[in-house]
Structure 1
């Protein structure tokens, strides 16, 4: 079950990879079309405004069509065969489901407690999906229908039909079965989802009422679930769905940027719900403190090698918001360090909230700048100055806490290994020398890395399936006992490997999609 949950989480992350660029476009577009910041240049009648408005509206594509994006994205990681065809099946059957649901509610909406004549949005519980007026089931509805289609695809796609029915095989057969499956699902949705919407509204009130405690618990859980690959399941409904605000915090924040930019009130008073995206403070302020502590406690002879490791993975966390390389560096040494890291991450987010600083702060500095600092600096610079003062202070706290724990408990962080051991992380030169030459034969280093990963996982006959998230290759194996340990994976050039039963997560970095493609070719 854990393997399936992790695979689902990784597949769900696939569409999220598009959000960074879309967020930058929206941030810049909002900045350049906000009259309170740009002055008369951004007047709605100006050519400047009209040109940038074209760019801005294009940037909204991803966030405006989130359900469709997740419907198509999920089969990429979950379908066991013919992923592209499954994407098409999922899209068609998702639209079919909503046509059924729309017709049911237009005819019998009163029976289900739905006023189908109401305008979409607000508290009506209705929305428009591909020009279909239907219940607003958000991302969760999209994932539910897509999951059903993926099951039907995996179960029936290869069904052999008689020759005279050959035109109905493959995707057509899946669509035929799915068509009739969607009818009862539409009736069930009409019966249950309006009650879920009532519960969601109650949960929204609870989350908002929890205040600082709610922020602390949310951020702590988001960090502590990373080793299990389940953190996506926690934050996605908050960030991209209707749990807290309509359309998710990301979309809601971006749409309200002009209003926030025009006010000098505290950010928290303008949009308190944005506090739940404060998971990025540990990335830009915590990771540097951790890296400094690891470097400071390394043995003198190994400091240069440790610095070569720490600089790129720390910059990756700060700039791109991808923390797995540095977090998994000390997670494998001591889970206690990771738990302390999660506590500090939750604490800095709560302190920021208490000082009235909120916004979309879940990614790295690129995302933070585009959705916060650039469009809002003109009116909220005092709060952002305070934000950096608090953040740098916490960098010092992270450094002191980690340095103290590493020395007190003699944790073998990089550079503190016994003299008989090598530092677990190879330099680029060593890795290139090792992988490029086998006798007199030149070997492509990327291919060699993938071959080494496959060897470490017990060979192709030991592989059940493979997916990936932003930085990790997620592989389920038949027999975990024939697989290699974490030091092996570090020695071949990866950032290590997290193991949970038969589920292996090899930490690659941002090039993991290419590695997965080559890995699947070897299979």
Structure 2
């Protein structure tokens, strides 16, 4: 039972990447649009104060804000695609149709029962979704419908009929099954959801009331769950649902820390950002802390190994600082020195607490680029971003000192301290050429080539690989027999940083080159057309 539950959570986490990975792109572009309409920035750079640039900024941020206000349908379609076993594009299309059927069914039923509110919907528990007035279910509606659509799709997408009924087979039959299900579900949720929403709001209020303790646990769990790949399930509800706060900005109700943040930074009447934004303050460890950890590992490495690991650590630290991708660093000590990973998680949680205590509302969840775009143009009043830098410097020192002391006192075999064999596979060009000269394959070459055949073989062969997906840094696979995986080959010959096993789910960490790896593996397996 435990393995089944874990497998289900793994599948759900992988499916969440489809909508979740798109949202930061929209967020960054909204921030760029806000730059061109920011009055403080115009005072510093007067040439921005013209109809062309302000019009461009208004158009850019305004058009992308529609994504943040329609997260329900985005998550519904994204989850339907991610959880579908086959015919994924058709599953996404059916997910959109099911969503439309549901909201219109709920609207009509609410109208028949006389519970539709007229006028201002603020505080009524109702809202408009795609122009249709329904109960305000937020992202939860998308999550619920996406899961249901995927389940029905996987069960009936290959159902075929004979004779005159052939036209109603396949995914058309899936939609036929979903129509009455969506109507019944809309009726049931009209009565049930107000109670569910009350429970969710109570939970959110409890979490908010827990204050710094809640922030600490949240920040610590968000890091501790990285080895399982389930950390996205921790932060996503806080960023996009009422668990992360509910606020009225400009006469409109927003739920979730990220949504509230976007609304508040775009509204000049908001003088100080709300506390909910702290749920997205995950950048201290990425931009500062892990850089200190890298320096500690460098200084504690054997003198003869420092030259070899220098380029690797610099690459990993730069990636973490600029883009917020931390796994190459974290996996360099996760398995050889787990105590350091626990310390890392504790420090990450405590950094959020310190930011909250100091009243700092700056964020940098995806590294320094995010930090610049989201905070600096607002000035120091709303975000107090200089405090963020100060806290970051403090945590750089803390990480460095604590990591160095623990590595030396406990003789931890971190990067450069091992006797032989263990190395972090972020190859420099020189290292790759050296391996080729020695007759070894170093995995992804300097020109971007990927030995997909070797990766497939190391995963047990084509017949052993059931599914392949990826996130920011990991190739995520579902295997028939995970015991056939050759970890040494994946690490030493294909450029993998780490291999993580959870039942039949095997995740291979490749870092930022994972998209190229996924594409090559799909082509090798013949999966490209099926996706």
What's the TM-score, normalizing by structure 1? Answer: 0.90
Which residue of structure 2 lines up, in the alignment, with residue 215 of structure 1? 215
Alpha-carbon deviation of 1:307? 1.4
Note if contact 1:27-1:370 (Cα within 8 Å) is conserved in structure 2. yes
Alpha-carbon deviation of 1:356? 0.7
Partner Cα separation in structure 1 for residue 46 and residue 187 of structure 2? 52
Whose relative contact order is higher, 1 or 2, with alpha carbons under 8 Å and at least 6 apart?
1
Which residue of structure 1 lines up, in the alignment, with residue 28 of structure 2? 24
Where in structure 2 are the equivalents of 1:168-179 lying within 5 Å?
Answer: 168-179=168-179
Which residue of structure 2 lines up, in the alignment, with residue 482 of structure 1? 484
Unaligned 5+ runs, structure 2? 247-253, 526-531
Q: Find the residue that maps to 1:202 and give its secondary structure.
A: helix
Which residue of structure 2 lines up, in the alignment, with residue 455 of structure 1? 457
Partner Cα separation in structure 1 for residue 523 and residue 51 of structure 2? 53
Note if contact 1:79-1:86 (Cα within 8 Å) is conserved in structure 2. yes
2:105 is the counterpart of 1:105 = no
Alpha-carbon deviation of 1:210? 1.7
Which residue of structure 2 lines up, in the alignment, with residue 65 of structure 1? 70
Which residue of structure 2 lines up, in the alignment, with residue 112 of structure 1? none
Deviation digits for residues 113-140 of structure 1, max 9, x if unmatched?
Answer: xx42145653222222222111221212
Partner Cα separation in structure 2 for residue 222 and residue 302 of structure 1? 32
Alpha-carbon deviation of 1:456? 1.8
Which residue of structure 2 lines up, in the alignment, with residue 239 of structure 1? 239
Cα gap change, 1:261 to 1:310, in 2 (>3 Å): farther
Mean Cα displacement is larger for which, 56-65 or 135-144?
56-65
Partner Cα separation in structure 2 for residue 435 and residue 133 of structure 1? 63
2:279 is the counterpart of 1:279 = no
Alpha-carbon deviation of 1:424? 4.7
Partner Cα separation in structure 1 for residue 241 and residue 422 of structure 2? 47
2:421 is the counterpart of 1:417 = no
Cα gap change, 1:98 to 1:74, in 2 (>3 Å): same
Partner Cα separation in structure 2 for residue 280 and residue 120 of structure 1? 38
Q: Find the residue that maps to 2:293 and give its secondary structure.
A: helix
Note if contact 2:264-2:270 (Cα within 8 Å) is conserved in structure 1. no
Note if contact 1:101-1:187 (Cα within 8 Å) is conserved in structure 2. yes
Alpha-carbon deviation of 1:429? 3.8
Number of aligned pairs?
508
Mean Cα displacement is larger for which, 506-515 or 402-411?
506-515
Q: Find the residue that maps to 2:451 and give its secondary structure.
A: helix
Match of 2:515 among 509, 513, 516: 513
Which residue of structure 1 lines up, in the alignment, with residue 358 of structure 2? 355
2:388 is the counterpart of 1:387 = yes
Partner Cα separation in structure 1 for residue 170 and residue 100 of structure 2? 19
Partner Cα separation in structure 1 for residue 270 and residue 94 of structure 2? 45
2:193 is the counterpart of 1:189 = no
Cα gap change, 1:175 to 1:435, in 2 (>3 Å): farther
Note if contact 2:490-2:496 (Cα within 8 Å) is conserved in structure 1. no
Alpha-carbon deviation of 1:408? 1.8
Note if contact 2:219-2:352 (Cα within 8 Å) is conserved in structure 1. yes
Partner Cα separation in structure 2 for residue 307 and residue 487 of structure 1? 24
Note if contact 1:320-1:365 (Cα within 8 Å) is conserved in structure 2. yes
Cα gap change, 1:120 to 1:285, in 2 (>3 Å): farther
Partner Cα separation in structure 2 for residue 138 and residue 235 of structure 1? 16
Partner Cα separation in structure 2 for residue 258 and residue 520 of structure 1? 41
Partner Cα separation in structure 2 for residue 453 and residue 155 of structure 1? 31
Deviation digits for residues 70-117 of structure 1, max 9, x if unmatched?
Answer: 1222233221111111110111111111111111111125xxxxx421
Which residue of structure 1 lines up, in the alignment, with residue 16 of structure 2? 12
Note if contact 1:153-1:174 (Cα within 8 Å) is conserved in structure 2. yes
Partner Cα separation in structure 2 for residue 404 and residue 15 of structure 1? 41
Q: CA RMSD in A?
A: 2.7
Partner Cα separation in structure 2 for residue 207 and residue 436 of structure 1? 57
Q: Find the residue that maps to 2:460 and give its secondary structure.
A: coil
Deviation digits for residues 339-361 of structure 1, max 9, x if unmatched?
Answer: 11000011111111111112433
| Regions of 4+ moved over 6 Å | 40-45, 435-439
Match of 1:329 among 324, 329, 332: 332
Which residue of structure 2 lines up, in the alignment, with residue 311 of structure 1? 314
Alpha-carbon deviation of 1:410? 1.8
Note if contact 1:253-1:274 (Cα within 8 Å) is conserved in structure 2. yes
Partner Cα separation in structure 1 for residue 58 and residue 198 of structure 2? 36
